[in-house]
Structure 1
Amino acid sequence: MNDTSVRILDAQGRPMSSVYTGAGAGFGNQLVNWNPMAQTADAALLPTLKMGNARADDLARNHGIASNGVQLHVDNIVGHLFRLSYKPRWQRLGMSEEDAASLARDVEQAWTEYAEDDVHCYLDAERKRTFTMLIREGIATHTTKGEIMASAEWEYRPGSLFKTCIKTITPHRVSNPHNLMDTNRLRGGVNVDRYGAARSYNVRDTSVPGYMFGDGMGSTWREIPRETSWGREQFLHVFEPTEDGQTRGANRFLAVMEQMHMLGKLQHTKLQNAIVNAMYAAVIESEMDSSAAFEIIGGDGGEDVLQKWMMSMLDYHAGANIRMNGVKIPHLMPGEKLNLMTSSNADNGFAELEASILRWIAAGLNVPFEALARDYSKTTYSSARASMLDGWRYFMGRRKVIAARFATKIFALWLEEAFSRGVIVPPKGAKSFYDGKASWCNCAWIGSGRVAIDGLKEVKEAVLRIDSGLSTYEKELALMGEDYQEIFQQQIREVRERQEAGLPPPSWMRVTNMAPDEREAA
């Protein structure tokens, strides 16, 4: 009996087993030469970490789209003020809910007084940044380098109640001492234990001669432990691992770096082409070569004769009053003709190509295309809102995983000292700070509000969610970047002041009166 079944053979003529299409040769053998190596995250990232971060820095400094991509992360994740919403787990700490609310107000006021002091900036070891500025810088660094690094310092500052301060560290400075090769226990400048947990970090010094004539980093390394013997963090390192054993973070530009770099070159080339095409409106062509000109002049060649011929042509044209914008028809020399230069199409499909590349870059950076390109010309309300909400979901994930983690680490350092100094006094019967550190340091952070494309519709949506019991004032005001407790307290003050001034109380309008339904015509 003949076997008529179809068999697929490999390059050696052997029958192929059943595999996923993506792991095979592909239709027409397009995937035959695509053989990437299976590597861990560190093996793929660490050998090119320095170059990848340096290229991302260069793009952020010199490429407008890259700079905007970084700024979108900073503005949407952090905003102009990163507010603390302190939420101690009062049940686990052994205190009442009333005591927890009173403690939260005290902690928030003391923290804001120290962290957002924009006059002295005691929280910053360099005394240049407030707490919000530290978080904004951290998000910008995370976007271009994939991680945030800082050290916890203990410095006495005249006029400061606290000694806790933060020294930001660029990830460029964290590397293996004397550029040693990576090992199982030393990877990317990080000393790790057998599970891959960081034990200490090796940081290059910045005290070097000729600071501005190099990379600004010295040839000595300082080892900073991750934490003290009692658990106080000494080195703050925040990034989002993608698989087990990952030691350092990957920046957001790695997946789109090639396209972004070439887009800049494409724009420069197109701009130069447009400038050259616009420089010349007309040229005068002559059919006379140099030998014919020499014969007319009567010379036997040479540079002097050529110069005389060129000068005679110039004198003739000047005397003939040849003009372009004067509408006069020029009278040319024998053998000459006027050739009008028409500029080629300045676009020639460039806008579509540029938009396609920008969409690729926006997808790689996880930001809305319209916001990255600053182009809303082809966007409807529905598509713009869908794009912004999709981007908002990504930004909120980054706020929780990156910005809030970095902020909480700094807050925990301050709170430990505040308890130690007696600035914050826990309620009687509550656990000590070290017995319930995670519960004491539990908090939320309020950053920038969500962009409102149609404010009336979105306010109505928020009010309906509250009235339906699907949301709370705390959540809805947090979406606007506001603290509900501050809003309520301000409303009470305003009502009292209106009464004292003899003004009628504000009228709280129902949602149906404030924003009635507008049914679209079918």
Structure 2
Amino acid sequence: MKLLDRIKGVGRALRSGTVLSGVSTRPTARMLRDSKSGVLAAQQVSIVDNREEIRRSWRRAAAYALDFIQNSGKLKGACDQVLVDTVGVELVLQPQPELAELGYSPDEVAALVAQIKREWKRYAWNPRECDMRGKFTLPQLVDIGLRWYMAYGEITGILDYMPRAKRRAKGIRTGLKVCMTPPSKLVQDTNEFENLFQGVYHDEDGSPIGYLFEEKVNGVTQKVRYPAFDAEGRPIVLHLFDPTDATDVRGISVLSSAIRKHAQKEVLDEATLQTAILQTIFAAVLTSENPSKDAFEALEALEDGELRDEFVGFLQAKMDKARESTIGINGTPTVAQLGPGEDLQFRTSATPGKEYLPFASSLDRETARAIGITYSSYAMDHSDATYSSVRMENATIWPIAVRRRERLAAPMLQAVYESWFDEMVGEGRIKLKVSYEVFAANREKFTWAQWQGPAAPTADDYKSERAVSERLANGTSSIAIEGGLKGIDTDELFNQQLREHQRYVANGMRSPYERPNQPPLPVDDPPDDNQKKKAAA
């Protein structure tokens, strides 16, 4: 063979990917490069419009979520944990009116804020005043909304107004009523010609202008349209959800991404339990050297009749002896003598195995992450927890709870508060220095407020309080900031401390609010100063 032909042969071998080349495919470097096993090619995916995907899956996801929550103590506890982390007992109203340019002094603003807080407490904690059905307080209605958010992915309700005549008949004062309506009553109808998508009407800019609810009127189910806002821009329909896309119209259950994992966990638990029960039932094994049926048939075939009779008599004596004893493995333990050649053994259950806990924990972690709570609070498993791990858990999850509060619970209360404040001013139960027309023109300046929730959990209260003291001493924080983080109304705290301090000092007792390394708090006109003033006069 010529040298040129040999070179060409090697080249062809290299191109064909034989042993000479060392590789079977051409090397590539690109995004989403698949592995040799084709794991990416096995996943059939496509790009879909998120709101269309929500519309397609909404009812099924809600049905699964409701069923799992109702039949799982772990998920029920997770929902309770979401409520506790988000609102605690209640979200505390902190009015922040900006009234300086309307002629209000700081003292007048403080007096107005104090009056608003008192009236709001009376309204929010009286079911007959705040609830259209007269059953639940406003904090309870917020809890209901958050439970709907877990199952349906959204909160819906209607702000209605009760006429004065009906209020007088019922003996109540406030006309504004909150009527919480399940998201399942917001229809799934879609009509592009009417700009109706999944029960929500939109204008040409994509803003919601109306909602279509299913209601029973005289026993007949009808579809009723409600406007999103009234003529003065006040909300009529409450519709809150956490969007994924800018074009989203409805929310979807928080559990939608964890439904498959939770179902797998239930299957794992059921299979593990059934296997363990089966192994426990058949855990007692009795072995015997006594011959079987085939052995007795072989004895009948012996030619020596005398030997056969003796051997059968021997076996009969052993069985008679065994018949006299009993084996008790029920609730009444008994100790008996076994027959000759018999052995009773107890087998231990081999289920669950050593792989059960790691795999079950992995499934629980994924579900807890989808819900937005810590794994420890979801599974109640603190076996491997340390101080550092608990702090990192709280540091990671707590911002999610605060975000949930600011996106869902606070906007719901703010909408109710704005309409309530409008009614209180319009009916003269809260007096302002300005007319109602001026208030209506500056409604946002009067109704701006913040909502304080519970404090973040701590792994070590002593260390956390030392950190607060250091921040205050270094000037990197304030009482208002630290009180807000703890869910404390700092104005109420100050007034309460001032009253208690003056009471202790007036009765000649040491005030608990005197700092050990600081001079005592000043007292208005102490007795010694009064005597000196009289003597000087």
**Do these two structures clear the TM 0.5 threshold for a shared fold by scoring above it?**
yes
Please list every run of 5 or more consecutive structure 2 residues that lacks an aligned counterpart in the other structure.
1-10, 16-24, 301-317, 519-537
| Aligned twin of 1:329 | 337
Contact map agreement 1:99 1:427 (CA 8 A) in 2: no
Task: Determine which of 368, 379, 394 is the counterpart of 1:373.
Answer: 379
**TM-superposed deviation, 1:414:** 0.5
Work out the CA distance in 1 between the residues paired with 2:77 and 2:193: 38
| Aligned twin of 1:59 | 68
| Aligned twin of 2:280 | 278
**TM-superposed deviation, 1:74:** 0.5
Please state whether the residue corresponding to 2:440 is helix, strand or coil. Answer: coil
Contact map agreement 2:215 2:224 (CA 8 A) in 1: yes
Per-residue deviation, residues 227-274 of structure 1 (Å, max 9, x unmatched): 122222211111122222210012211111110122122112212222
Work out the CA distance in 1 between the residues paired with 2:443 and 2:384: 52
**TM-superposed deviation, 1:93:** 5.0
| Aligned twin of 1:519 | none
Q: 1:430 to 1:470 in 2, by over 3 A?
A: farther
Task: Determine which of 236, 239, 242 is the counterpart of 1:240.
Answer: 242
| Aligned twin of 1:97 | 106
Normalised by the length of structure 1, the TM-score is 0.81
**TM-superposed deviation, 1:278:** 2.2
Structure 1 position 148 matched with structure 2 position 155: yes
Normalised by the length of structure 2, the TM-score is 0.79
Contact map agreement 1:94 1:429 (CA 8 A) in 2: no
Work out the CA distance in 2 between the residues paired with 1:170 and 1:480: 32
| Aligned twin of 1:221 | 223
Q: Where does 1:31-46 land on structure 2 (aligned, <5 Å)? A: 31-46=40-55
Q: 1:322 to 1:415 in 2, by over 3 A?
A: closer
| Aligned twin of 1:442 | 448
Q: 1:460 to 1:341 in 2, by over 3 A?
A: closer
Please state whether the residue corresponding to 1:344 is helix, strand or coil. Answer: coil
Amino acid at match of 1:348: K
Task: Determine which of 416, 438, 442 is the counterpart of 1:410.
Answer: 416
Q: 1:206 to 1:184 in 2, by over 3 A?
A: closer
Contact map agreement 1:196 1:247 (CA 8 A) in 2: no
Contact map agreement 1:150 1:168 (CA 8 A) in 2: yes
Structure 1 position 356 matched with structure 2 position 358: no
**TM-superposed deviation, 1:184:** 7.1
| Aligned twin of 2:508 | 502
Work out the CA distance in 2 between the residues paired with 1:92 and 1:64: 54
Work out the CA distance in 2 between the residues paired with 1:255 and 1:511: 55
| Aligned twin of 2:58 | 49
Contact map agreement 2:158 2:180 (CA 8 A) in 1: yes
**TM-superposed deviation, 1:508:** 3.5
Between stretches 89-98 and 406-415, larger displacement belongs to 89-98
Contact map agreement 1:83 1:446 (CA 8 A) in 2: yes
Please state whether the residue corresponding to 1:432 is helix, strand or coil. Answer: helix
Q: Bigger radius of gyration, 1 or 2? A: 2
Q: 1:82 to 1:507 in 2, by over 3 A?
A: closer
| Aligned twin of 2:93 | 84
Kindly report the root-mean-square deviation, in angstroms, between the aligned alpha carbons of the 2 structures.
3.4
Q: 1:225 to 1:319 in 2, by over 3 A?
A: same
Amino acid at match of 1:328: A
Please state whether the residue corresponding to 2:487 is helix, strand or coil. Answer: coil
Amino acid at match of 1:189: G
Q: 1:511 to 1:463 in 2, by over 3 A?
A: farther
| Aligned twin of 2:529 | none
Amino acid at match of 2:444: A
Structure 1 position 168 matched with structure 2 position 177: no
Work out the CA distance in 2 between the residues paired with 1:59 and 1:246: 25
Q: Determine which structure has the larger helix proportion and give its number.
A: 2
Contact map agreement 1:93 1:439 (CA 8 A) in 2: no
Between stretches 108-117 and 85-94, larger displacement belongs to 85-94
Contact map agreement 1:323 1:330 (CA 8 A) in 2: no
| Aligned twin of 1:185 | 195
Amino acid at match of 2:86: I
Structure 1 position 400 matched with structure 2 position 410: no
Work out the CA distance in 2 between the residues paired with 1:337 and 1:130: 69
Amino acid at match of 1:137: I
**TM-superposed deviation, 1:339:** 5.6
| Aligned twin of 1:129 | 136
Between stretches 498-507 and 428-437, larger displacement belongs to 428-437
**TM-superposed deviation, 1:116:** 1.5
**TM-superposed deviation, 1:348:** 3.1
Contact map agreement 2:194 2:201 (CA 8 A) in 1: no
| Aligned twin of 2:232 | 230
**TM-superposed deviation, 1:500:** 3.7
Work out the CA distance in 1 between the residues paired with 2:144 and 2:296: 69
Amino acid at match of 1:320: S
Amino acid at match of 1:386: M
Q: 1:296 to 1:486 in 2, by over 3 A?
A: farther
Q: 1:249 to 1:505 in 2, by over 3 A?
A: same
Q: 1:193 to 1:337 in 2, by over 3 A?
A: same
